[in-house]
Structure 1
Amino acid sequence: MTSRPGAPSAADDRAQALETFVSTTDWAGTQTTALAGDASRRRYFRLTDPTSGRTAILMDAPPDAGEDVRPFLKVAAYLRNLSLSAPDIYAADEEQGFLILEDFGNDLYDQVCARDASLEPALYDAAVDVLVALAQAPAMEGLAEYGPLMSDLALSCYRWYAEPILGQAMGDACEEARSVLNPLLSALGPGQTTILRDYHAQNLLWLPDRGGPAKVGLLDFQDAMLGPVAYDLISLTTDARRDVPEAIQSRCMDRFVAGLGLNPSDFSRDAAICSVQRNLRILMIFGRMSLHFGKPHYVDLIPRVWGHLQRDLDHPELGDLAAIVRRHLPEPTQASLNILKAKCGTIPTLQ
């Protein structure tokens, strides 16, 4: 149904509801500035008190777009109980999907590193220390296990990456890959660690005035699950959006292994398996962002993801999977990427 001329739109109604929510909190009368969003349907604003200068972050997570702030609130409480820097919650309307959060500022990891590469060791050491703390803590109660989802998510890259480029159905090829990938994923064992699942430089903020792992401001953790201990570490080191220097990657691996007393050889294998699974999944996500959601700029990130995938497929215990993946999946040549962009927004269903 189309709105009558002059009738308020759903966007107008949402904006009015947001304004009403803010007016009922201690942040009434503050100035509002829109911030850059992420790959979700959430929107973010910075609230600034013109008198005191204090600031907060306003999150708009519309339930009718599939957003739900309750997992964010639960995971934030868990992280804060571990003395980690999840934002304090100043006000919440769970039903409408509105939150006012502590403002950690603008020093995202990727931006700090771009300004001063000499700070990278300190930033990444602190980020690893967060993961060591999570691995040593009792797992968060009530979380689902990631393991049963890992195979399907990884192999969805056949549907959203390979098939659109090659122009052919690849169901049989996908099942061939599954027969080799599943035993590797099973070897990771049951998920016993709280994993945040999107732990990378654009979701971490540098808080140098705090101590220890609390120097890392945490964002975008609402999809936390129970998973392999290596998962968030490889999310940090095989970053889809920035090139993490090899020396920093090695430093992170060594610090994590030492911090938890792990067997380096076993951990190297598990990390490679997690990285392959994650980067196959990201091929799917970035392809889908163009083909279904109409956001072709994600395609430009695919070559970096492909590079991570190829490096970890070189692990000696992943040889069979490497042979299958390299036979099935097309390299992200410029011609391949152009196909994904040319088909931008042409697949209306996620099924």
Structure 2
Amino acid sequence: MSDRELQRLDFLRKAGLADAVRTPLAGDASTRRYERLTTSSGATLMLMDQPPAAESRSCDPAWTPAQRHASGWNAVARLSAGRIEAFAAVADHLRSLGLSAPEIIAVDAVAGLAVLEDFGDDLFARAIAAGAPEEPLYLAAVEALAALHEAPAPDVLTGPAGDWPLLLYDETALQGGADLFVEWMPRLNPSLAFDQAAIDEWRAAWAPIAARGAAGATVMAHRDYHAENLIRLPHRPGAAGVGLIDFQDAVRAHPSWDLHSLLQDARREVPPALEARALDHYFALRPATDREAFLRDYAGLAALNEARILGVFARLIVRDGKPRYRAFMPRMWAHLNANLKTPGLEPVAGWFDRHVPESDRR
């Protein structure tokens, strides 16, 4: 029996769950693993298992961009490095707003273990695949975002495992994400080659978009808000009927970030008419929003995020041996190509025209 398994058993014993039946769940692209715990009464809970040493350090709020780059990807991107205290603090904040995040039943942040409320398996993506109408689900997801965006975004979140800073999704993080494209796409597609001049041109083209994203960072962003991280909770009213998971990397970001993650999803098609309807619903819920400026930033940051995701998928395929992510790339290319037609994105569109043939953008 491994040392980690002994640690899990000791944690469950202390939580009064030594006799729970443990059922592992399928993994994703992260270093976390989950188990469903079934108690003797038939109730279910979730065990979150995030080994603390599995990832590079998270970002110290005082670090300079140079220090962040020297400390690894989690610091550059301001990811939580899977820290349990981040998940617990974000969950408490979301629940304080009347939104549905899992209750923390037991937690040991040092060990990287937590027992959570179980929201079940009724993910939006699965429900839609099984025939549920998608528009009500997407509009509910927008209502949850609007509620989150109307609330203040505190500098520090407090939770049962300790405080956690809500860091700015700043220009270093945004540009670092975009740079994954020029770093990893040539390794996946050797016909692409970007010399230093091309990389400098790339960064200059994205710089004003990253600057607007950082300047407009006024709300808490879930940061991975899409139909596979949202769960139907039909017995809860309004926005609380949207179960939120996988939010441990929350940051202070532009309010468009979670919207384009939801509506220009890498994993499933969202019809353009539904995207437009959802955006209209958001503006109706937040009438003070400058729609024209918002949509300009929405397209620019969506394009940046799509370049980032293409780089992430290339890395997952090449470095991590996960070829299944190739199937998602055509959808991301389609979204990126469409967004590059937006006025104001001419420098980025021009870069792609010069350096990435159309035959490689699909």
TM-score normalized with structure 2 length: 0.85
1:162 aligns with 2:151: no
Preserved contact between residue 163 and residue 169 of structure 1 (Cα < 8 Å): no
Q: Quick one: which amino acid aligns to residue 255 of structure 2?
A: V
1:25-47 Cα deviation digits (max 9, x unpaired): 13221111011122111110000
Give the equivalent residue in structure 2 for 1:235: 261
1:290-319 Cα deviation digits (max 9, x unpaired): 121221211221111111111111112212
- Structure 1 CA distance, aligned partners of 2:359 and 2:241? 37
| Greater CA drift, 240-249 or 185-194 | 185-194
SS at match of 2:243: strand
Displacement of 1:331: 5.2
Q: Quick one: which amino acid aligns to residue 196 of structure 2?
A: G
Preserved contact between residue 207 and residue 215 of structure 1 (Cα < 8 Å): yes
Give the equivalent residue in structure 2 for 1:260: 286
1:174 aligns with 2:174: no
Q: Which runs of 5+ in 2 are unaligned?
A: 56-81, 156-164
1:128 aligns with 2:142: yes
Map 1:318-337 → 2, pairs under 5 A: 318-330=345-357
Preserved contact between residue 50 and residue 113 of structure 2 (Cα < 8 Å): yes
Q: Quick one: which amino acid aligns to residue 36 of structure 1?
A: A
Preserved contact between residue 177 and residue 324 of structure 1 (Cα < 8 Å): yes
- Structure 2 CA distance, aligned partners of 1:116 and 1:326? 40
Give the equivalent residue in structure 1 for 2:14: 24
Q: Quick one: which amino acid aligns to residue 24 of structure 2?
A: A
Give the equivalent residue in structure 1 for 2:243: 217
Map 1:60-79 → 2, pairs under 5 A: 60-66=49-55, 67-79=82-94
Map 1:302-317 → 2, pairs under 5 A: 302-317=329-344
SS at match of 2:8: helix
- Structure 1 CA distance, aligned partners of 2:358 and 2:35? 39
Preserved contact between residue 229 and residue 245 of structure 2 (Cα < 8 Å): yes
SS at match of 1:316: coil
- Structure 1 CA distance, aligned partners of 2:333 and 2:192? 20
- Structure 1 CA distance, aligned partners of 2:136 and 2:112? 36
Map 1:1-351 → 2, pairs under 5 A: 12-49=2-39, 51-66=40-55, 67-118=82-133, 120-141=134-155, 142-148=165-171, 149-162=173-186, 164-165=188-189, 166=191, 168-188=193-213, 189-261=215-287, 262-330=289-357
Displacement of 1:219: 0.6
Change (3 A) 1:37 1:164: closer
- Structure 1 CA distance, aligned partners of 2:359 and 2:326? 9
Q: Which runs of 5+ in 1 are unaligned?
A: 1-7, 338-351
Preserved contact between residue 187 and residue 318 of structure 2 (Cα < 8 Å): no
- Structure 1 CA distance, aligned partners of 2:311 and 2:358? 14
Displacement of 1:104: 0.3
Measured on the aligned residues, the alpha-carbon RMSD in Å equals: 1.7
Change (3 A) 1:161 1:192: same
Preserved contact between residue 209 and residue 301 of structure 2 (Cα < 8 Å): no
